[in-house]
Chains A and B, each alone.
Chain A
Amino acid sequence: MRGLAPPRSAVRLIGPLTVLVTWELAARFGLVNTLLLPPPSKALADLTVLISSGYLWKALYASLFRVVCGFAIAVAVGIALGAAMARVRPLNDFFDPLVELLRPISPLALFPLAILWFGIGDGSKIFVIALAASFPVILNTFAGARSIDTNLIRASRSLGASEIEIFKGIVLPASLPHIFTGVRLAWGISLIVIIAAEMVGATVGMGYMVLEAQQTFRTERVFAGIFVIGVIGFATDLGFRRLRRWLLPWYRETET
């Protein structure tokens, strides 16, 4: 009977499509105030305008540049610091309280300071993203490096592995699933932080574009922007999952 059923990916489209169609019809037939809730077709039309005028690319480029820079710093610093904290006790004693103190602070609370320090341009955004996104990387790398089964290291030592071979062949692959989880979380946080930061203080970017559209009452543009942000988040997370399956085929994680 399985062969007759439609593919699961098609079944999963039913929900979103129903919402879109209902929304479109409700707007067309005047059931809702289209000033507040314009039909999706209008948002789509505005999206094509945004694309053809090149405005979308400018905003996207500005946002993604900041995200990629901040994210890259967070990953590099996070992995290095997390691994170092896991292996060197005094480093852990020094950095752990700092991490735990800074971690609960909303990154946006630090944004005004960041603007003072780094200006209204890219620097302040990259700083808050790097800071906020580094925590999951630090914590997950730390957990990964700490949770290695000592018997794995003993076994490889008995087999004749040198310290370098143990690090490259055992410690690194054994912590990779944790590190990967941290990196994926960091990417999600980066995307959230950039939009919020650009709404608070920026002159270009996706967050700024959406806020500006709201202030000039172009609701369809607000929706178009939100849609693009959503697609980017969805697509990149899918990319991360693919990447994990390719990098860590041995690792079984319950999909969420």
Chain B
Amino acid sequence: MAIESGQELVRFDGVGLTFPGGSARRPVEVIRQLDLSVQAGEFVAVIGPSGCGKSTLLSLLAGYLTPSSGRVLFRGKPISGPGRERMMVFQQPALFPWLTTEENVAYGLRLKANRSNGRDVKETVAAMLQLVQLDGFARHYPSDLSGGMRQRLEIARALAVDPQVLLMDEPLAALDALTRRTMQREVLHIWEKTLKTILFVTHDIDEAVIMADRIVVMAQRPTFVLEIEDVRLPRPRLREDPEVGKVARRLSTLLE
């Protein structure tokens, strides 16, 4: 069942997406001829001008949108809708405010579709909360948590149903600079521990260089893949490292 690391997990095959216009609106072409392949276990960052369609890319993969042309393949099969093997982590955490921390994590596990997978709900919830270091906050409601904690909770909820890929849509953009740095380390730590594939959309070039194996640079709308940068620097990487700076500068000239 488990897919070997290094095998192709996700494939965008000549994908185009146009939002149909209304009576007063013109149709908007967001994506044109996009090709991309992501290997299992990879940490891929996606950067590009704001509003270019980076988030749309993740929505296609999550199954919230369907391409107007081309195909989005997951393990070789076209994506037909949302599914727990592809979990989204939203920029503004989409936690269920009426559920406590542990209930939020347990929510997915208790759904009819996931009940038969043999995982013990209590055990899994405890393990997830420990992974994201929220074990002391099991009974708190999301409104009692800080921004960073909410984001960690959202990651825990997504990981609880054991997805194969995490789709992270600017997950750290709403956090203050200090929390953000801590969370970058946290996300890497979670990635290394769980061996999940991660697609990470960000508008912060430094963040992309510090975290990712590969960086996908997107073009202006209608967007496509402008360039893919392999980051072959050893981790942990520091923002102050001149090698990191060199990669970041090259990428930022690409985006100008």
Chain A contacts to B: CB under 8 angstroms: 149, 151-152, 154-162, 165, 169-170, 173-174, 176, 248-252
29 A-B pairs within 8 Å (CB atoms) are namely: A149-B94, A151-B92, A152-B96, A154-B82, A154-B88, A155-B88, A155-B90, A156-B111, A158-B62, A158-B88, A159-B84, A159-B107, A159-B111, A159-B157, A159-B161, A160-B111, A160-B161, A162-B111, A162-B113, A169-B96, A169-B107, A173-B96, A174-B98, A248-B98, A250-B99, A250-B100, A250-B141, A250-B143, A251-B97
Complex CA gap A101/B74 in Å reads: 53
A169 — which chain B residues lie within 8 A by C-beta? Answer: 96, 107
Nearest chain-B residue to A162 (Cβ)? B112
Judging by beta carbons under 8 Å apart, are A165 and B112 in contact?
Answer: yes
Given contacts A159-B111, A160-B111, A173 and B98 within 8 Å (CB-CB): yes
A136 to chain B, nearest CB (A): 22
B65 to chain A, nearest CB (A): 11
- Nearest B residue to A155, CB-CB: B94
Pick the contact of B108 from A159, A176, A250 — CB < 8 Å? Answer: A159
Contact A161 B111 (CB under 8 A): yes
Q: B112 near A158 (CB under 8 angstroms)? A: no
Q: Name the B residues within 8 Å of A174 (CB-CB).
A: 97-98
Instruction: Known A248-B98, A250-B98; judge A165-B111 contact (CB<8 A).
Output: yes
- Is B86 among interface residues, defined by CB-CB distance under 8 A? yes
User: CA of A250 to CA of B118 in the docked complex: distance in angstroms?
Assistant: 30
With A170-B96, A248-B98, A252-B143 already in contact, the answer to whether A158 and B111 are too (CB < 8 A) is: no
Complex Cα gap A161–B88 (Å):
14
Cβ 8 A contact of A152, one of B81, B82, B94, B108: B94
Q: Given the complex, which residues of A lie within 8 Å of B19, measured CB to CB?
A: none
Chain A residues with Cβ below 8 Å from B158 are: 158
Binary interface profile of B, 214-237, with partner A (CB < 8 Å = 1, else 0)?
A: 000000000000000000000000
B62 partner residues in chain A, CB cutoff 8 A = 154, 158
- With known contacts A160-B113, A160-B161, A251–B86 Cβ distance under 8 A: no
Which chain B positions have C-beta within 8 A of A159?
84, 87, 107-108, 111, 114, 157, 161
Shortest beta-carbon distance from B191 to chain A in Å:
19
Q: In the assembled complex, which residues on chain A have CB atoms less than 8 Å from the CB atom of B96?
A: 152, 156, 169-170, 173
Answer whether A251 and B84 are a contact pair too, CB < 8 Å, given A154-B64, A159-B107, A162-B113: no
Knowing that A158-B88, A174-B97 are A-B contacts, what are 8 other residue pairs whose CB atoms are under 8 Å apart, sorted by A's residue number?
A151-B92, A154-B64, A158-B82, A158-B84, A159-B87, A159-B107, A160-B111, A250-B98
A-B pairs, top 4 by smallest CB distance, nearest first, are A159-B108, A160-B113, A151-B94, A158-B82
Asked if A154 and B84 make an inter-chain contact with CB atoms under 8 angstroms apart, the answer reads no
Which residues 130-170 of B sit at the A interface, judged by CB distance below 8 A? 141-143, 157-158, 161
